[in-house]
Amino acid sequence: MSETFIYVTPIEGITEKQLAAASERLPQWRGNYISGKTLSGKTEGAFSYLLLQKLVSERFGMTDTAPFTYGKFGKPYFSDIDVFFSISHCKTAVAAAASRAEVGVDVMDNRSINENIAPRICSERELAKFNSAKDKQRFLRELWCKKESLVKKSGTGFSKGFTSADTEDFPFYLFAAEKYTVSSASGTDDTVILTEIPFTALL
């Protein structure tokens, strides 16, 4: 059994001045990574990284600001410490998860989803549950989050397609806030601890 820690930070309302302050705290390689992105992309990239660093420092007593290394399909890893992590971002929030075992996390806005995409992303078992779901919008949001967190944990991405990432046989942690939903894929017996961190704590 291991513990998975998730930190989530709402990012709506962050000003350019606050983004500049956050960017000053980034190592050069991370600053270069986000430099060509849009304003929202820079905000998400800066605050997700700072959130990850705060999480690993507080929960594991470690830091590693060296550039990430990457697996075959782009899964990031720390270079110098034995902690697994995953980060995610959307317009309303950024999320970071860390554990001693492989982990995946996803955060998405609680926006409307076109229900016609269900057959293209659902396995047969998932589609049957979708068809019987009373709240189909919530089902699709949670399913999308679960799929994203699952392939982030495995490190394969959607290389085999959305429908092949069947979520029915795996445990997930789900948290739905007013404006976002978070999913974490970890071990069967893992304890998951989620903490919401204000973005001002990262500056």
- Written as tens digits, the pLDDT of the chain (203 aa) is 689 999 999 999 999 999 999 999 999 999 999 999 999 999 999 999 999 999 999 999 999 999 999 998 899 999 999 999 999 999 999 999 999 999 999 999 999 999 999 999 999 999 999 999 999 999 999 999 999 999 999 888 776 667 777 898 888 999 999 999 999 997 667 799 999 999 999 99
Long-range contacts (CB closer than 8 Å, 24 or more residues apart) made by 136-141? 137/112, 137/113, 138/176, 140/113, 140/115, 141/108, 141/110, 141/113, 141/181
Please, what is the end-to-end C-alpha distance for the chain in angstroms? 33
Pairing of strands 191-196, 3-10: parallel
How many other C-beta atoms are found inside a 10 Å radius of the C-beta of residue 51? 24
pTM: 0.94
Domains and CATH numbers, the chain: 3-202 (3.90.470.20)
Residues 6+ apart with CB under 8 A from 5: 55, 59, 97, 98, 99, 192, 193, 195
How many other C-beta atoms are found inside a 10 Å radius of the C-beta of residue 31? 16
What is residue 166's predicted lDDT score, i.e. its pLDDT?
Answer: 84
Hey, what are 128's tokens?
């049957």
